Amino acid sequence: MGIHKNAEWLTGRIRDLQSFLCVGLDPDISKIPESYKKSKEPLLDFCKDVVRATESVAIAYKINVAFFERWGSQGYRQLEELVRFLPQNSFVIADAKRADIGNTSSQYAAYYFDQLNVDAVTLHPYMGFDSLEPFLQYKSKWSVILALTSNPGSADLEMQNMMDGSFLFEKVLSLFGRTEYTDQIMFVVGATQPAHMSRIRQNIPNHFLLIPGIGEQGGDLKTTIGSLRNTHEGMLINVSRGISYPNGVNTNFESIVDAASSYSEAMKRFFCG
């Protein structure tokens, strides 16, 4: 990951592969096939196979850090190995959902951007602008900020109305959506939120979006791409469980290849028309 994967790089990769596909790596010990569990590093070995099965079609990989932190220091050892294993030409997102006061966020930023050296990390906006500034100081790295998430609980706060009639998630978009950061801030917008998509694109016409909620969570690909695509493509669409565990406990290498190809083919149709 030596090169700076800016917005132009992302647009180029999306057009080359005719795909928005980000493969989510969520190594859930209760779901990975039995054969991996005999290994000393089951999370790593399973994720490596998911990567081998998907690297020809994936633009990006999103590593769900929780599934590694679950196992503490042993989990982090596997996380660190996994990042070294990922293809040089993939965009790597640590889905960590961190954020704290400045001197503490600096520590998180140093781990993810200096030591682990991933391209992007996901972040909570709740504590305000200064809480994310230490991440923004890394000009060649991406801060991926939660805006409107894919879960039902997004109605509790994110979709609550502010005094001026806007939603809370729109306050987040305007707080972090300044043009000077278009090349280093993305926003998370769930594919399960079609009603808000066109308004979101009006608020932030130029920013890249990271889109969870396709697959297991039920979001629709056509609506999502139709509503959120912009002139430089502008999105990565994540699929985690739908690719890693397409057949539940009977998942194997071939079924992962097939699931990834099927998402890839479905996306390709939006480039051929």
Which one-letter DSSP state was computed for residue 206?
Answer: S
Nearest one of 146, 138, 145, 148 to 118, comparing CA atoms: 138
Shortest CB 220 distance to a second copy, Å: 18
By beta-carbon proximity to a second copy, the closer residue of 128 and 218 is 128
By beta-carbon proximity to a second copy, the closer residue of 72 and 273 is 72
Identify whether the C-beta of residue 233 lies closer than 8 Å to the C-beta of residue 11. Answer: yes
Candidates 85, 140, 162, 247: give the one binding a second copy (CB under 8 A): 162
State which of positions 102-161 bind a second copy (CB under 8 A): 102-105, 107-108, 110-111, 115-116, 124-131, 146, 149-158, 160-161
Write phi, then psi, for 219 (nearest 5 degrees): -65, 150
Nearest one of 84, 83, 90, 86 to 17, comparing CA atoms: 90
Identify whether the C-beta of residue 62 lies closer than 8 Å to the C-beta of residue 93. Answer: yes
Q: Does 225 bind a second copy (CB under 8 A)?
A: no
State which of positions 74-113 bind a second copy (CB under 8 A): 74-77, 79-80, 95, 97-105, 107-108, 110-111
User: How far is Cα 9 from Cα 115, in angstroms, rounded to an integer?
Assistant: 23
Size of the site for a second copy (CB under 8 A): 60
CB atoms within 10 A of CB 152: 8
Q: Does 249 bind a second copy (CB under 8 A)?
A: no
97 is catalytic: yes
State which of positions 37-66 bind a second copy (CB under 8 A): 64, 66
State which of positions 165-194 bind a second copy (CB under 8 A): 165, 168, 171-172, 175
At residue 223, what is the residue type? T
By beta-carbon proximity to a second copy, the closer residue of 45 and 95 is 95
By beta-carbon proximity to a second copy, the closer residue of 33 and 212 is 212
Shortest CB 245 distance to a second copy, Å: 12
User: How far is Cα 156 from Cα 160, in angstroms, rounded to an integer?
Assistant: 7
The answer for residues whose C-beta is within 8 angstroms of residue 203's C-beta and 6 or more apart is 170, 173, 174, 177
Candidates 8, 16, 69, 265: give the one binding a second copy (CB under 8 A): 69
The answer for residues whose C-beta is within 8 angstroms of residue 47's C-beta and 6 or more apart is 25, 27, 63, 78, 82
Catalytic residues: 97
* Binding residues vs a second copy (CB under 8 A): 26, 28, 64, 66-67, 69-77, 79-80, 95, 97-105, 107-108, 110-111, 115-116, 124-131, 146, 149-158, 160-163, 165, 168, 171-172, 175
